[in-house]
Chains A and B, each alone.
Chain A
Amino acid sequence: DVKVTQSSRYLVKRTGEKVFLECVQDMDHENMFWYRQDPGLGLRLIYFSYDVKMKEKGDIPEGYSVSREKKERFSLILESASTNQTSMYLCASSLRRRVIAREGSQPQHFGDGTRLSIL
């Protein structure tokens, strides 16, 4: 079974701090994703990475950056934490499809989430 591990289940930080959220997957997946989940808004994509050192902005990248130095690890960085970044953060990974096909998709495998509070 695929295992996606997030470094913390709960985290409390102060406004202005630099915050690191770590995610590790053990299945050699090319794609990795960072989402935040807020009540009434569903999961929203912050950043994703389709290979080592490659990254693309998602729908809400402002205030965040990411790092992918090794294939198995994808880090989310809050450069200067603010109270509006209090949220549940979820990491996911998936295989890159080997064929170019109009249809289909790879399932994403999720970590258990990090509930981050910024005070």
Chain B
Amino acid sequence: KNEVEQSPQNLTAQEGEFITINCSYSVGISALHWLQQHPGGGIVSLFMLSSGKKKHGRLIATINIQEKHSSLHITASHPRDSAVYICAVRWGPGYFGNEKLTFGTGTRLTIIP
């Protein structure tokens, strides 16, 4: 069965700390997404990666295709970064138009002032 695993499940850190959240998957993928879910439920897409590294503000996402692993980093963390971070993958090349994703169970991040 194709699986997506995230670690840690929960992470509490002090404001300003460097944060790393990990995502591993079992077989080849065509793309990996990082998503953020705030209390109340709304989900926003942060990054989509097929290879390499992407940066947006204080957020950095990397992917290692050979090791089937991705990391999401937050520099200079802030209490407003407190949220659930979710990794999701699109398996294989799929068929044209197939955008189905498989999701990890999420990492709950709490940043303490």
Residues of A whose CB lies within 8 Å of any CB of B are 30-31, 33, 40-45, 48, 50, 58, 88, 90, 92, 94, 96-97, 100, 102-113, 115
Per-position binary interface string of chain B over residues 89-113, scored 1 when its CB falls under 8 Å from any chain A CB and 0 otherwise: 0100100111111011110000000
Q: How far is the CB of A107 from chain B (nearest CB, A)?
A: 4
Provide the residues of chain A in CB contact with B106, threshold 8 Å. Answer: 42
Q: Which of B40, B42, B97 has the most CB of A within 10 A?
A: B97
A110 to B42, CA, bound (A): 7
Chain B count of residues within 8 A CB distance of the other chain: 26
Whether B50 and A103, one on each chain, are in contact in the complex, defined by CB atoms closer than 8 angstroms, is yes
Q: Is B31 an interface residue (CB 8 A)?
A: yes
Provide the residues of chain A in CB contact with B90, threshold 8 Å. Answer: 105
A96 to B33, CA, bound (A): 16
Q: How far is the CB of B79 from chain A (nearest CB, A)?
A: 22
